């Protein structure tokens, strides 16, 4: 983590000697700012930067600290601006295509490889998630490549 940043520290405590999650979150936030050379006053004044979520879990006196590097759920690929009622998740559509065995076929014409694809049937016919994921596979887009970088 590099300054300037704004932290959102969340803590949970279960069966530990430290049981006040709010106090744990405050201490962790203070120490992170201290370790990167920012004062608490600087972070309170600077609300223009993106917020970095830090999750602290205390269970049986063992601490786990995680930094949320994606900000959005990873199943969201970054191309859908609006959703319809109950769309299939992008990662599930990708998995359906992979498990169905749908792949592009190639044939050669005048020493050039011209892609020719097997037919794709979208049984859900809703928001087009399966067709969009198939088009992304054809274009060679990696999952999550359209997502903005959170840090």
Q: How far apart are CA 64 and CA 7, in angstroms?
A: 17
Encoded tokens for 90? 């992008």
DSSP state letter for 75: T
Q: What is the mean pLDDT of the chain?
A: 77
12: left (phi over 0), alpha (psi -120 to 50) or beta: beta
Instruction: Provide the pairing of β-strand 51-59 with 6-14.
Output: parallel
Classify strands 51-59 and 62-67 as parallel, antiparallel or unpaired.
antiparallel
Using a cut of 0.85, tell me whether the model's pTM lies above it.
no
Average pLDDT of 96-103? 83
The pLDDT tens digits for 5-41 are 888 899 999 999 999 999 999 999 998 888 888 876 6
- Look up residue 40 and give its two tokens: 């608490």
């Amino acid at each position: 983590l590099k300054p300037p940043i704004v932290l959102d520290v969340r803590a949970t405590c279960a069966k530990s000697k430290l049981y006040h999650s709010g106090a744990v979150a405050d201490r962790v936030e203070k120490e992170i700012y201290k370790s990167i050379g920012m004062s608490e006053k600087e972070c309170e004044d600077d609300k223009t930067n993106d917020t970095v979520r830090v999750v602290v879990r205390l269970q049986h006196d063992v601490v786990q600290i995680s930094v949320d590097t994606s900000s959005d759920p990873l199943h969201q690929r970054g191309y859908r601006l609006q959703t319809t009622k109950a769309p299939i998740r992008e990662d599930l559509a990708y998995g359906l295509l992979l498990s169905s065995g749908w792949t592009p076929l190639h044939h050669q014409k005048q020493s050039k490889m011209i892609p020719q694809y097997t037919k794709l049937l979208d049984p859900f016919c809703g928001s087009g998630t399966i067709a969009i994921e198939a088009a992304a596979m054809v274009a060679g887009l990696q999952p999550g490549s359209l997502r903005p970088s959170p840090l």
